[in-house]
Structure 1
Amino acid sequence: MTDPRITKLAENLINNALALKAGENILIETTDTPDEVSTELIKAVEKVGGNAFVRNSKSRVRRQMLLSASEAQMKVEAELALAEMKKMQAYIAIRGADNFMENCDVSDEKMLMYRKMTKETLDYRVNKTRWCVLRWPNASMAQGAKMSTEAFEDFYFQACLADYPRMGRAAQNLVNLMNKTDKVRLVANGTDITFSIKDIPAIPCCGNMNIPDGEVYTAPVRGSINGVIHYNTPTLYEGKQFSNIRLEFKDGKIVDATCETGDNAQLNAILNTDEGARYVGEFAIGFNPFVNAPMCDILFDEKIAGSIHFTPGMCYEEAPNGNNSAIHWDLVLIMRPEYGGGEIWFDDKLIRKDGLFVVDELKCLNPDQLGK
């Protein structure tokens, strides 16, 4: 018997997050997920009169393809993927991971080649389709979150099935404030950084892109960033783990990058993917009230209540700052007291302290309000 929460999630994704319409094509890509996930999504697509195209894969198989593929093979695969994507109006990816470190022994050279080959398809998917990406709960993720499998599944569905319409209404005040803001300053342990967001739109993400959702994002003016940021949340990038990443900026560019755990050479190899990889394409404020602790999974960690993420790499077309890159790496800084605290300042006015909004019109985004 299918877990009814899977059915509810599938229907929410198709009807609300993607708002699929009759006659539209949707590509559903799953990795390491139960068959019920795909079948319930197909049923939900059928109910609205859409056309589902499904690609199921396994991370172990994908790793072997990366290890074995030649440059010419990757090029053909990228061409086929782009042609398929151009037939789609919507896209959804549900990614389990039986082993988060599956790609850790794929060479930096192969991963760089893969990123560059797939960039055009990624750009088209992000900017030309309605899309949604989410993880799937399993024992590996539960272990990363330091929870039992059952407890993690309960947490997962609570976070993914949050009251997103209510969240979206609450987020509008933050959108309005960010759209009027020029100078931003972030202050925390090891962090003191300033930049401008003037005239770059603020975009709310409240149940219509990544799930779980709960952020407002924009982008810094490309050359405006100066100072140091010290991320206190561990991160995985293509099977390689890093923690306590420290980035130093001068006139928008990362001029020094180190990490406490992980390989500094690998960190800098990622940031040397192309010119845009050493500039920032996104600044976002997270506020999902049900996501409170890091689990080394970006889709969850970037939504942590009381967090920000500051992202080396590609900007989004909806909040453009002109930065172009094959990478987009959401690195997270949690500013709640148990993680060292922190402050966000907009035009020399304190708007959030130690993870809680202190401006009256933004207090509706604090966990005691959103989590009711």
Structure 2
Amino acid sequence: MDERVRDHAELLVDWSARVEAGDDVVVSVAEDAHELGVAVAEALGERGATVTTLYGSDEVSRAYLKGAEARAVGDDVPSFDDDPAVDRAIFEAADVYLRIGGGRNTTASADVSSATRQAYAKARKGVREARMDTDWVSTVHPTRSLAQQAGMAYEEYREFVYDAVLRDWEALADEMARLKDILDEGDEVRIVTERDDAPDTDVTMSIAGRTAVNSAASVAYDSHNLPSGEVFTAPYDTTGEAFFDVPMTIDATRVRDVHLVFEDGEVVDFAAETGEEVLAGVLDTDAGARRLGELGVGMNRGIDRFTDSILFDEKMGDTIHMAVGRAYDACLPEGESGNDSAVHVDMITDVSERSQMMVDGEVVQRNGTFRWENGFEE
């Protein structure tokens, strides 16, 4: 076994999930993530945790949803049990949930309709909430399917993943704390970008009363992804227009060049060069799906290229992302629910050129460089 696989497992268990002896840990292992799953199981055993293993297969999920569609012949949308008690009980009994991605086919469920996906997502809201009440962390094992999606040779992709994952997270956390402090003290964020061949972005949102998350790849920082390397908050009262030029895969469908128009906090118009039907399906999921649940700023400079994986792309330095749908509780005042939705879909824009992010009128980042970094242009 490549020693970096063991390093990845130990980082996931110790730094990210903070697993302790006696913890009940649920581990979901994708089809081709077996090697990392083995290393994680070994680490959990050494630490005295209890382990329940799930098979996290996109192909199995696709088969179930296609079966439901076949059952629903004559009906518009298949129905699903809205209280799947067994699944919910697993997570309600767990202290920690670790999701290890790395399937065989990144578009395994491309032929499942958007309506079916929406119905399934709504039905499993209780399961999702129970899972998010655990100390959960999501990561991926570098696989050939992910390398292919990223447009890289397999060995090249492995190097890319470990450069992003095996970092000095304490040092990065200290740097990201600078932006967290600015956002915590701020009331309003404005993001402006200029494009020659696409719509400009000029969008303003309120962040007053919100708490930004220093997402340093650990539940100790209210961070749940490995790799991570972003600072995010939960905006509201969004107005203006935003253009997202980084291609992404949503519901196994390629989506690119998304343009959103906001009025009074809600998406009132939208377009996409490709995948517009999928985008429409996301926005029509429920009332909260047309409002922003997240503003995130990528700060992991170990990620140096786009790979069509949101886990990596949204953390990349020189990017900003916004997510329609659910807001994370960690960003909200106690007792406030924030934006609620069955979806949380991130969209990314490159801010490396002709861009600026302002907080309360003061430029915090220009052309991808923060005001405390060398090369910042006054």
**If the length of structure 1 is used for normalisation, what is the TM-score?**
0.91
1:297 aligns with 2:297: no
**Cα shift readout 1:221-240 (whole Å, capped 9, x = no counterpart):** 2xx11100000111111212
Residues 77, 136 of structure 1: alpha-carbon distance in 2 compared, 3 angstrom cutoff: farther
Partner of 1:330, secondary structure, is: strand
Shift of 1:157: 0.9
Match of 1:177 in 2: 182
Indicate the percent of aligned positions where both proteins have the same amino acid.
28
Q: Which amino acid aligns with 1:160?
A: V
Match of 1:369 in 2: none
Does the 8 Å CA contact 2:82/2:124 hold for their aligned counterparts?
no
Match of 2:65 in 1: 66
Match of 1:195 in 2: 205
Residues 34, 285 of structure 1: alpha-carbon distance in 2 compared, 3 angstrom cutoff: closer
Does the 8 Å CA contact 2:230/2:299 hold for their aligned counterparts?
yes
Shift of 1:219: 0.8
Q: Which amino acid aligns with 1:210?
A: N
Residues 178, 76 of structure 1: alpha-carbon distance in 2 compared, 3 angstrom cutoff: closer
Q: Which amino acid aligns with 1:7?
A: R
1:280 aligns with 2:280: no
1:116 aligns with 2:122: yes
* 1:88-103 correspondence to structure 2 within 5 Å: 88-103=94-109
**Cα shift readout 1:238-269 (whole Å, capped 9, x = no counterpart):** 2122100110000100001110112x233112
Shift of 1:73: 8.0
Shift of 1:35: 2.4
In 2, Cα distance between equivalents of 1:61 and 1:193 = 40
Residues 198, 155 of structure 1: alpha-carbon distance in 2 compared, 3 angstrom cutoff: same
Does the 8 Å CA contact 1:159/1:291 hold for their aligned counterparts?
yes
Shift of 1:94: 1.1
Larger mean Cα displacement after TM superposition, 315-324 or 268-277? 315-324
Shift of 1:334: 1.5
Q: Which amino acid aligns with 2:163?
A: Q
Match of 1:26 in 2: 25
Shift of 1:328: 0.2
1:336 aligns with 2:352: yes
Match of 1:248 in 2: 261
In 1, Cα distance between equivalents of 2:84 and 2:342 = 14
Match of 1:136 in 2: 141
Question: Of residues 358, 363, 367 in structure 2, which corresponds to 1:345?
Answer: 358
Shift of 1:76: 7.4
Partner of 1:120, secondary structure, is: helix
Does the 8 Å CA contact 1:280/1:313 hold for their aligned counterparts?
yes
Shift of 1:77: 7.8
**Cα shift readout 1:53-76 (whole Å, capped 9, x = no counterpart):** 111243222211111136998427
Show structure 1 runs of 5+ residues with no match.
Answer: 367-372
Residues 47, 279 of structure 1: alpha-carbon distance in 2 compared, 3 angstrom cutoff: same
In 1, Cα distance between equivalents of 2:33 and 2:318 = 33
Show structure 2 runs of 5+ residues with no match.
Answer: 73-77, 195-199, 219-223
Partner of 2:52, secondary structure, is: strand
Question: Of residues 239, 252, 256 in structure 2, which corresponds to 1:226?
Answer: 239
Does the 8 Å CA contact 2:216/2:228 hold for their aligned counterparts?
yes
Shift of 1:119: 1.6
Q: Which amino acid aligns with 2:137?
A: C
In 2, Cα distance between equivalents of 1:76 and 1:277 = 19
Q: Which amino acid aligns with 2:158?
A: E
In 2, Cα distance between equivalents of 1:109 and 1:281 = 22
**Cα shift readout 1:334-366 (whole Å, capped 9, x = no counterpart):** 1113xxx411011111110111102x3xx29x9
Match of 1:370 in 2: none
Q: How many positions carry a matched residue from both structures? A: 355
Shift of 1:144: 2.5
In 1, Cα distance between equivalents of 2:126 and 2:164 = 31
Match of 1:82 in 2: 88
